[in-house]
């Protein structure tokens, strides 16, 4: 709690009390949204007290404040993954800090493998639900009652209202947007063929190594969440190919403008 307070206090001072309404987490290869931002302030994670520091090369590690679609936002360019060796508490630390800064809703993106045979690379999948296959979660341990309840309800972790708004926007702008269930695995290795088959069998439409810890922390805090996967590789049973990081980044780059448009339009429509 003290660490959250200190990080938030530092950020408030450095940003002249900038008041973001919405928090955005950008996934692997999806950092270009910041080019659409009227940037007011930018802080390196490494300068913020108690902030974990990003280790993955494709993540640049900045907290950026500014306007997107005319609304004040804070953007995490680069996130923390459990596979990097961080604790779950560290993985969700920035989410809790953003909420302390006054963020009212959370928008999350990620790169994911497509398990639904109808998906194509660079499709967007709006997440309607998830399956947590990470070995732990950020709420394990003594409950921080100041943050949220001991047993948060998870019947609608992704705002159904925002899902509908996203589908309306997609129709309006001719975007290829699907919906589906995201399974979160620890990684960092990709899945075996048998594991992809298992994931599909248990009801997942896409698989990735992030998002769910942050969403759990956000639900605990009472923040409505919108999350979207960019399908970077296809791994439906019977159609599994070798996954190369470069291909993932290429597919993410191709889908990035669509994702940015979707999030920007969605943010414009929030109260």
Which residues are at the interface with ligand HPA (CB under 6 A)? 111-113, 185, 190-191, 207-209, 232-233, 235, 243, 248
CB of 235 to ligand HPA, least distance (A): 5
Per-residue CA distances from 156 to 145, 184, 191 (Å):
21, 17, 27
CB of 88 to ligand HPA, least distance (A): 18
Token code pair at residue 206:
């896409």
Write out the E strands in the chain.
22-26, 38-44, 62-68, 71-77, 105-114, 124-132, 177-184, 206-208, 225-234
CB of 50 to ligand HPA, least distance (A): 28
Dist CA 140 CA 4 (whole Å): 18
Of the pair 235, 261, the CB lying nearest ligand HPA is at 235
Of the pair 7, 207, the CB lying nearest ligand HPA is at 207
- The CA angle 91-83-227, to the nearest 5 degrees, is 55
CB of 260 to ligand HPA, least distance (A): 19
CB of 49 to ligand HPA, least distance (A): 31
Dist CA 75 CA 106 (whole Å): 10
Of the pair 79, 264, the CB lying nearest ligand HPA is at 79
Interstrand relation of 22-26 and 105-114 (parallel, antiparallel or unpaired): parallel
Phi and psi angles of residue 9, each rounded to the nearest 5 degrees, phi first: -60, -45
CB of 119 to ligand HPA, least distance (A): 11
Of the pair 179, 236, the CB lying nearest ligand HPA is at 236
Residue 39 β-bridge partners: 66
Residue nearest ligand HPA, Cβ-based: 113
204 neighbors 131 (Cβ within 8 angstroms): yes
Of the pair 110, 260, the CB lying nearest ligand HPA is at 110
Of the pair 7, 126, the CB lying nearest ligand HPA is at 126
């Amino acid at each position: 709690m003290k660490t959250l307070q200190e990080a938030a206090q530092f950020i408030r001072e450095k940003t002249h009390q900038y008041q973001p309404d919405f928090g955005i987490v950008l996934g692997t290869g999806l950092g270009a949204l910041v080019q659409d931002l009227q940037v007011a302030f930018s802080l390196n994670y490494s300068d913020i007290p108690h902030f974990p520091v990003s280790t993955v090369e494709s993540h640049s590690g900045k907290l950026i404040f500014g306007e997107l679609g005319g609304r004040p936002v804070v953007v995490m360019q680069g996130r923390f993954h459990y596979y990097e060796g961080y604790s779950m508490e560290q993985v969700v630390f920035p989410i809790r800090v953003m909420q302390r800064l006054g963020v009212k809703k959370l928008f999350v993106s990620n790169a994911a493998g497509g398990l639904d045979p109808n998906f194509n690379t660079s499709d967007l999948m709006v997440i309607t639900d998830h399956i947590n296959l990470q070995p732990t979660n950020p709420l394990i341990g003594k409950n921080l009652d100041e943050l949220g309840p001991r047993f948060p309800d998870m019947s609608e972790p992704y705002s159904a209202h925002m899902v509908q708004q996203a589908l309306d926007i997609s129709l309006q702008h001719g975007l290829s947007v699907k919906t589906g269930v995201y399974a979160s695995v620890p990684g960092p290795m990709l899945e075996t063929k048998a594991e992809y088959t298992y994931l599909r069998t248990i009801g997942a439409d896409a698989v990735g190594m992030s998002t769910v810890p942050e969403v759990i922390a956000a639900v605990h805090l009472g923040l409505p969440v919108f999350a979207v996967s960019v399908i970077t590789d296809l791994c439906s049973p019977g159609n599994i190919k070798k996954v190369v990081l470069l291909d993932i980044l290429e597919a993410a780059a191709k889908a990035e403008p669509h994702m940015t448009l979707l999030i920007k339009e969605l943010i414009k429509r929030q109260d």
